[in-house]
Copies of this chain bind each other. A is one copy, B any other.
Amino acid sequence: MNVEQIFQSLQKGKISPSRAEKLLSLYSIEKIGNIAQIDTGRKNRKGIPEIIFAERKQLLDLKKIIKKTLSKNNEVLVSRIKQKDYTKVLEFAKNKYKIKKGKNTTAVLVYKKNIKKTGGKVGIIAAGTSDIGVAEEAKLVCESMNCDCISSYDVGIAGLHRIFPVLKQFIEAEVDVIIVVAGMEGALASIVSSIADVPVIGVPTSIGYGYGEKGVAALASMLQSCSLGLTVVNIDNGVGAGAAAANIANRIKTKC
């Protein structure tokens, strides 16, 4: 019964008001229920792979989830694997699938067939050695989303001059978007955004201490940036930055 029919039945006394109310609720929900089948579609189009946050998962469960996910998908990104489980997960994955690791991070991209390239290109800069792990998570996401990455780490503001050759290399390679990963005062994102003309995504990291620690200074600094056009993701959110960057890069390539 649709809304009209429910109200008619009620007026004719065929159903009680409380029955009508319940039918109305159910009707509404049922209509919305139809949207359930969208999700798979969306995943295909947006191209973001399944991502497993392994931080609070048992090793056994983790293996099962990887297996199950890869039975339906070509790739899965496993991030924040517990240090003690990391080599075990790698071994498990290497036996059955192909893998791609990142530096200074326990994330791993597990896949079956080689991932096709859209031609989208993402440049990734990290300000300090401790920021590399976050940058590498972003990189793995980009690669899982069919993009190529060029990365350059240890480019800090204290050595301002080290930024320029990197940006030159990025522009020669025609990157579509740049991710800047930076802790402490996070000024690198502002500077890159003020020099580069491609979209720039800033990732503040939780590196730092004292006032503004845990990434708060870097986040505030990036949000307050005088350099128009910089957008930001949450502290340490390399995965989110990668997804946004690859989305932009793919859009540029696939729309041509």
Which positions in A face B, CB cutoff 8 Å? 3, 18, 21-22, 24-26, 28-39, 41-42, 45-46, 48, 51, 56, 127-130, 156-162, 164-165, 167-168, 171-172, 174, 176, 184-187, 190-191, 194-195, 197-199, 201, 204, 206, 208-213, 215-237, 239-241, 243-244, 247-248, 251-252, 254-256
Contacts and interface: CB of A to CB of B under 8 A. Distances in A.
Nearest to A223: B234
Nearest to A158: B226
A211 B216 contact: yes
Contacts of A239: 228
Contacts of A39: 159, 161-162
In the complex, the 7 A-B pairs of residues with the closest C-beta atoms, listed nearest first:
A210-B235, A212-B220, A217-B220, A231-B231, A29-B168, A187-B187, A210-B234
A199 B24 CA distance: 17
A36 B167 CA distance: 13
Give how many copies assemble into the complex.
Answer: 8
Given A42-B195, A217-B223, A251-B252, A206 B210 contact: yes
Contacts of A199: 244, 247-248, 251
A217 B227 contact: no
Task: Please report whether the interface of chain A is mostly helix, strand, loop or mixed according to DSSP.
Answer: helix
Given A41-B28, A167-B29, A224 B228 contact: no
B223 A221 contact: no
A256 B168 CA distance: 23
Nearest to A133: B56
A169 to B, nearest CB: 9
Contacts of A212: 219-221, 223-224, 234
Most chain B C-beta atoms within 10 Å of own C-beta, residue among A38, A226, A251: A226
A65 to B, nearest CB: 10
Given A199-B247, A216-B211, A34 B31 contact: yes
A157 B28 contact: no
A204 to B, nearest CB: 8
Given A38-B28, A185-B221, A197-B42, A231 B244 contact: yes
